[in-house]
Amino acid sequence: MPLALLLGGWLAVTLRVPPGPPDVPPGPPDPTPSPAPAPAVLHGVAVPMRDGVVLRADVLRPAASGRFPTLILRTPYDRSRGEESELVRQALRRGYAILLQDVRGRYASGGEYVPYRHEGADGYDTIEWAAAQPWSTGEVGTIGLSYPAAVQWLAAVESPPHLKAMVPAMTFSSPRNFFYAGGAWDLSWISWIWDNIAPDARVKKNLPGPRNGPEAVAAWRTKWGAILPFRLPLTDLPELQAEAPFYFDWLAHPPEDSFWDWAELRGRYPRVRAAVLGISGWHDEAYGPEGAITNFEGLLAARAGEKDARARLILGPWVHGGVSSDRSGERGFGPQARLDYEGEILRFMDRYLRGVENGLDGEPRVRAFVMGENVWRSGSTFPLPGTTPVSLYLAAGGRLVREAPTTTSPASPGEGAPTAFESDPANPVLNAYPGKAGAHDYRALAQRKDVAVFETEPLAEPLRVVGPVETEIAVSSDAPDLDLWVKLEDVEPDGTAWNLSSPGTDVLRASTREFEAGESRKPLSPGEVAVLRLPNLRTGNLFAKGHRIRVVLCGSFMPDFSRNLQTGESETSSAKMRKAMIRIHHDAANASRIVLPVLPDSP
């Protein structure tokens, strides 16, 4: 995970702008309580878990006496940092008690830290403990972004009786699209551990190396960031063996392993009783947009018979943690892109913890930002009502066209012949903006010899794309396995080529192609043409008149995700690599296409 996760609980809490998209009228103003006494604060409160481990928390209340609806934020990033956050200040003024807690094994809390593993039970116990305190009304909500969002979901699927509302921002729906993406291992876990987890572990275990965040970040930037992600096999990481033994346990389990079921949210939505506001951004980490959308859709399905499904979704243009920003990377979207993060959370909590009739019930459930157009669109479901699929087919000569192929001779030269490129894991495709989240100009990527590029003619009319982008790419190779990256770009007339999502939304390991159908790993056979359907690509973008839609295909994208060795062996246990010739078929018998979710102009 990137450095933004270091600030996961406190990052998006600074800028103030009015909530709501332009097409949603604001509800009545929320009640503002009269001036209250200075907050009462208790530090280092012991919160016992069911197994006897004691977690430490700070409890902040609007006043020394009274009972208050209670908000909980659980974090591995040091609870003491939350006391001065804008969200905490506003919540106290609004009449909420706040519990800030170090998760198990982090900072002042007892027990052993294994990321995410104990958060379901510990979250349940913390919620029920807080609800029983004399300062709480028993109405509990949970808040937080990134890791502090994941812990909310892991607790919610345990069905704690007193959890009434939650606002998880920028988190996952499945460990298979969190630790992995499309079957490829997420290498940013190394930097996340190095920057965020290892320093405290070194202090506790008296180990050599950086012992605080700034030291760790400096060491990563000056040395280790150019070394550790490129190591093979992936387990060749002695620098973190003592600090993070859990990492090596993760690597031992491929995505299809039942080991990961403990963190699976999909299929468990009927167990969630709380009202849920999910938040993500198109340039969030690879798991973010898919996670927010899948969780929202799962809740709607589980609550189909309820008058109020108590599920809402906000999708902005942001990077991970950047909900209060008006830009993503190098691309700006105007002040309307900023989210009043604190205002959104507290308005939602007012409705579902305090029962305030604040107009929320009458507003659309979904708000999605359209990059390029720089406006919010809204609706009751996602994809937004009126969305229609538009297919663009890959064609000879690097064309991307609306017409389906008619040539039926894939082996003959000309229109039916496949487009081929060589993928060499020893010389992988490199991200030109490593560690720099958001939108950037990727025009140089199309100039590489180890990629295939397809693009439209300049558009005669704008095309608004909002939602899941389906990909069906017919592939063959002389290798038993490969990774296919399908990178969607908005190309401006001057050649600027904006990426529209983060690395990992756009990759599939060929041997995992049947996972969505519940099948096992399947190597490629010589001469076999396999159709690869990428499951995670989602975006919201207006391709303006005169712009081109570009698709770039490649076999790797380092150092974001692990490279496929193309031997059939796993990079977790092998370092042996081979080159592969990857052929992209685009004839009538083996058509390749992307299917864009096109949203028309509002009526």
pLDDT surpasses 70 at 412:
no
The pLDDT of residue 257 is: 95
Are 309 and 375 found together in one domain?
yes
Average pLDDT over residues 252-264: 97
Are 66 and 142 found together in one domain?
yes
Average pLDDT over residues 562-568: 98
pLDDT surpasses 80 at 226:
yes
Look at residue 4 and tell me if it is in a domain: no
Are 367 and 315 found together in one domain?
yes
Token readout for 289 is 């947009």
The CA distance from 170 to 290, in Å, is 10
The CA distance from 596 to 585, in Å, is 20
Are 549 and 408 found together in one domain?
yes
First and final CA of the chain: distance in angstroms?
41
Look at residue 107 and tell me if it is in a domain: yes
Helix, strand, or coil (residue 344): helix
The CA distance from 268 to 298, in Å, is 8
In 406-514 the beta strands, taken as DSSP E runs, fall at 419-423, 451-455, 463-468, 470-477, 483-491, 497-499, 507-509
Question: Domain range for residue 580?
Answer: 388-598
Sign of CA dihedral 188, 554, 529, 531: positive
Are 123 and 51 found together in one domain?
yes
pLDDT surpasses 80 at 416:
no
The pLDDT of residue 598 is: 98
Are 529 and 440 found together in one domain?
yes
The pLDDT of residue 22 is: 35
Q: Judge whether 491 and 547 are in contact, CB under 8 Å.
A: yes
Look at residue 434 and tell me if it is in a domain: yes
**Which of 320, 344, 379 is the last residue in one of the domains?**
379
Are 306 and 213 found together in one domain?
no
Looking at residue 502, its amino acid is: S
Convert the pLDDT of each residue in 58-110 to its tens digit. 999 999 999 999 999 999 999 999 998 999 999 999 999 999 999 999 999 99
Are 401 and 516 found together in one domain?
yes
Look at residue 315 and tell me if it is in a domain: yes
SS3 labels along 66-101: CCEEEEEEEECCCHHHHCCCHHHHHHHHHCCEEEEE
Convert the pLDDT of each residue in 361-382 to its tens digit. 999 999 999 999 999 999 999 9
**Which of 352, 379, 406 is the last residue in one of the domains?**
379
Banded pLDDT at 414 (limits 50, 70, 90): low
Look at residue 249 and tell me if it is in a domain: yes
The pLDDT of residue 423 is: 98
Q: What residue has token string 């079957």? A: 183
Strand 470-477 vs strand 580-585: parallel, antiparallel, or unpaired?
A: antiparallel
Strand 97-102 vs strand 68-75: parallel, antiparallel, or unpaired?
A: parallel
Strand 163-169 vs strand 136-145: parallel, antiparallel, or unpaired?
A: parallel
Are 587 and 529 found together in one domain?
yes
User: Measuring CA to CA, which residue among 414, 434, 417, 580 is closest to residue 511?
Assistant: 580
**Which of 218, 238, 254 is the last residue in one of the domains?**
254
Who's near 203: CB < 8 A, 6+ residues apart? 211
The pLDDT of residue 199 is: 96
Banded pLDDT at 409 (limits 50, 70, 90): low
Are 363 and 301 found together in one domain?
yes
Average pLDDT over residues 136-161: 98
Helix, strand, or coil (residue 299): helix
Look at residue 6 and tell me if it is in a domain: no
The CA distance from 72 to 68, in Å, is 12
Convert the pLDDT of each residue in 301-328 to its tens digit. 999 999 999 999 999 999 999 999 999 9
The rounded percent of the chain whose pLDDT value lies above 70 is 92
Convert the pLDDT of each residue in 9-26 to its tens digit. 444 333 323 333 333 333
Q: Cα 12 to the chain's mean position, in Å?
A: 15
Look at residue 594 and tell me if it is in a domain: yes
The CA distance from 188 to 208, in Å, is 22
Average pLDDT over residues 337-348: 98
Average pLDDT over residues 156-180: 98
Are 347 and 402 found together in one domain?
no
Q: Residue 300: which CATH number?
A: 3.40.50.1820
Who's near 264: CB < 8 A, 6+ residues apart? 174, 175, 176
H or E segment and range at residue 345: helix 341-353
Average pLDDT over residues 139-163: 98
| CA distances for 331 relative to 161, 317, 441, angstroms | 44, 10, 9
Who's near 310: CB < 8 A, 6+ residues apart? 274, 275, 276, 299, 303, 352
Token readout for 578 is 């081979």
Neighbouring CB atoms inside 10 A of 472's CB total 16
What b/e readout covers 216-245, taking b as 16+ CB neighbours within 10 angstroms?
bbebbeeebbeebbebbbbeebebbeebbe
Convert the pLDDT of each residue in 525-559 to its tens digit. 988 999 999 999 999 999 999 999 999 999 999 99
User: Measuring CA to CA, which residue among 306, 284, 356, 445 is closest to residue 69?
Assistant: 356
Q: What is the DSSP string of 93-106?
A: HHT-EEEEEEPTTS
Convert the pLDDT of each residue in 432-469 to its tens digit. 999 999 999 999 999 999 999 999 999 999 999 999 99
Token readout for 449 is 């010899």
Total structural domains in the chain?
A: 3
The CA distance from 3 to 577, in Å, is 30
In 146-285 the beta strands, taken as DSSP E runs, fall at 163-169, 180-181, 184-185, 275-283
Q: Residue 440: which CATH number?
A: 2.60.120.260
Look at residue 165 and tell me if it is in a domain: yes
The CA distance from 16 to 25, in Å, is 18
User: Can you state the percent helix, strand and coil of the chain, rounding each to 5?
Assistant: 25, 30, 50
Are 353 and 452 found together in one domain?
no
Neighbouring CB atoms inside 10 A of 373's CB total 18
